[in-house]
Amino acid sequence: MKNYDTLIFDLSVKGRRGYTLPKSSYKDVVLPKKLLRPAKPELPEVGELGVLRHFTNMSFKNYGIETNMYPLGSCTMKYNPKVHQELAALPAFSSVHPYQKDKDTQGLLKMVHGLQGFLSSIAGMAEFTLNSFAGAHGELVGLMVMKKYHEDQGNTQKTNVLVPDAAHGTNPASAILAGFNVVEIASNLDGTVDMDDFYSKLDDHTAGIMLTNPNTIGVFERNILEISKAIHDVGGLLYYDGANLNPLLGMARPGDMGFDIMHINLHKTFSTPHGGGGPGAGPVGVAKHLAKYLPAPRIKKEGDHYAIDWTLAGKLGQISPFYGNFGVYVKAYAFILTYGKDHLSEISKMAVLNANYVKESLKDVYELPSKALCKHEFVFNGLKDKSTHVTTLDVAKRLLDFGFHPPTIYFPLLYKESLMIEPVETESKQTIDVFIGVLRTIAEEALTMPDFVKAAPHTTIVRRLDEALAARRPILTYDQFKALDSLA
Ligand SMILES: Cc1ncc(COP(=O)(O)O)c(C=O)c1O
């Protein structure tokens, strides 16, 4: 068992105790037989210090934003102020029951109403619903709004949604789930829409288009106003995938670009960590003429009174039980207030500056297909010198030896060796410089000792996995580990 840590059961010594309960003063309590265990439970017998060290050491095995940089492109993993977590956990927020009367929850409703308003003005939309649980869920709700709108207009021929080939995978999936056909449009090398292909696919069947801007390569879509006009001219709608709003905050608004529907991932931009399976929220915003389609419940203000309105159910009804993930709203609201209206743009300026700094510092050793100024993220196509056949996967694995989480790899599919980096706005120059230095070292190693890079990682508990076997026959139990180890 050299390579793997012990389980708490391996530390067990018969009779050892961490804590002994005082003798019970209740005598002869006889439980019904059906409630009794047939045999004693197999619990580990470990001293207090043993337990403490075991779990403390285990907790150090986690990689997180608290331990080092997390430069995942598209999956924004940035530091989020812990104070917002504490706010969300305050009993006034966490102990409220969804059925509590409006009159007793005025402060909370005011906050939700305020957040709807903040998001509307940040994004240039008329109305927002907060209810969706995630980005992909928001997309589905937005596409359902698009569908209802066309049904109401009698646009039965509008069956197609245009989606660029570089789009996040959730985009075509959401369009199909909402009942549309997906028509793929080609992208240029910098991820922008290939306008010839766009016009060749645009017709009377076009219900709308789904775009993210800046696009998946991190480049701003220069033709957005032309695209917007063309889609509206055929009676279609524009959907904006606002999962990554960091680079636009306080600088540009999807509504002003002509988008009609959008979602925002609060769990990326607004103070909730992305990933990890925790709660998220994908609020959906719409232009004025679509507000009636937003799902219930809506929080409305009548004079000084805030009320939950279930009658504003639009045509979608309800898409989540009650109001979605309330704690996430508290964090987002606090985050926006912490920065204030005049300072939100600092987030976007730092996100863009950091990404361009990393890009420019590495472009002599990593292949950069799009030379354009990037926004919050950018994509290399593997190493510039590919003569030693070191791949993006090798680079990612070698990064683990230096204590860095790898960037997103092999997405987007536009390039064969995609290495997608998003340094985010919260990293210091010192940390970013170390990251750049490590990537330069790896590029050098790739030329001088390629076999060593190809065999990475060298320092992790588990080395390079057989990816196919790991997916098909995963080793999930400690006994399986042990069996494998005894064969070694
Ligand atoms: C561009 C884009 N769209 C949509 C999503 C989906 O968001 P979620 O993971 O919350 O469903 C993501 C997630 O990373 C994304 O990057």
124/197 same-domain check? yes
**The two structure tokens encoding residue 133:** 């649980």
CA 135 to centroid of ligand 1, rounded, Å: 5
C-beta 215 within 6 A of ligand 1 = no
Q: Which atom of ligand 1 is nearest to the CA of 216?
A: 1
Residue nearest to atom 12 of ligand 1 (CA): 243
Q: What percent of the chain lies above the pLDDT cut of 70?
A: 97
Are residues 324 and 412 located together in one domain of the fold? no
**Rounded CA separation 199/201 (Å):** 5
**Ligand 1 contact, 212 CB (< 6 A):** yes
For ligand 1, atom 10, name the residue with the nearest CA: 135
Q: What is the phi/psi pair of residue 138, to 5°?
A: -60, -40
Q: Is 370 in the pocket of ligand 1 (CB under 6 A)?
A: no
Select from 292, 319, 339 the last residue of a domain.
Answer: 339
Residue 400, domain member (yes or no): yes
| 335, 273 contact by CB (below 8 A) | no
Answer whether residue 24 is part of any domain.
no
**pLDDT of 276:** 63
pLDDT of residue 317: 85
CATH number at residue 305: 3.40.640.10
Copy the structure tokens of residue 482.
């042990």
Q: Which residue minimizes the CA distance to atom 13 of ligand 1?
A: 75
Mean pLDDT of the chain: 92
Tens-place pLDDT, residues 22-52: 888 877 778 899 999 999 888 999 999 999 9
Q: What digits encode the pLDDT tens for the residues 155-213?
A: 999 999 999 999 999 999 999 999 999 999 999 999 999 999 999 999 999 999 999 99
Ligand 1 and 324: CB distance under 6 A: no
In this model, does residue 478 exceed pLDDT 90? no
Residues 323 and 391 both lie in one domain: no
Query: Measured between alpha carbons, how far is 182 from 171 in angstroms, rounded to an integer?
Result: 9
Q: Does 41 reside within a domain?
A: no
Read out DSSP for 13-62?
A: -TT--S--PPPPS-------GGGS-SS--------HHHHHHHHHHHHTT-
pLDDT tens, position by position, 331-349: 999 999 999 999 999 999 9
Q: Are residues 417 and 362 in the same domain?
A: yes
278 with 380, same domain: the answer is no
Domain boundary among 305, 339, 373: 339
Q: Determine the atom of ligand 1 nearest the C-alpha atom of 267.
A: 10
Helix axes 392-401 and 429-448, enclosed angle (nearest 10): 120
Question: Are 229 and 360 contained in the same domain?
Answer: no
Residue 427 included in any domain: yes
Residues 288 and 358 occupy one common structural domain = no
Best probe residue, ligand 1, of 261, 265, 272 (max atoms within 8 Å of C-beta): 265
Query: 128: which residues sit within 8 A by CB, 6+ positions away?
Result: 115, 116, 119, 120, 283, 284, 285, 286
Residues 245, 312: one domain?
yes
Ligand 1 centroid vs 51 CA: distance in angstroms?
39
Q: How far apart are CA 275 and CA 258, in angstroms?
A: 30
Q: What distance in angstroms lies between residue 171's CA and the mean position of ligand 1's atoms?
A: 9
Residue 256 and residue 158 share a domain: yes
Domain at 373, CATH number: 3.90.1150.10
**Mean pLDDT confidence for 360-384:** 97
Domain of residue 359 covers: 344-460
Q: Do 192 and 140 belong to one domain?
A: yes
> Domain total for the chain?
2
80 in a structural domain: no
Q: Tell how far the Cα of 361 is from the centroid of ligand 1, in angstroms.
A: 28
Confidence (pLDDT) at 2: 44
> Can you list the alpha helix ranges (DSSP code H) found in 154-183?
170-177
Whether 114 shows a pLDDT value over 90: the answer reads yes
What is the model's pLDDT at position 312? 60
Determine how β-strand 237-242 pairs with β-strand 261-264: parallel
- Counting from 1 in the atom list of ligand 1, the atom nearest the Cα of 137 is 11
Atom 7 of ligand 1 has which residue's CA nearest to it?
135
DSSP per residue, 410-449 = S-STTSTTEEEE---TTS-HHHHHHHHHHHHHHHHHHHH-
Q: Are residues 153 and 298 in the same domain?
A: yes
157 and 298 co-located in one domain: yes
Q: How many CB atoms lie within 10 A of CB 338?
A: 13
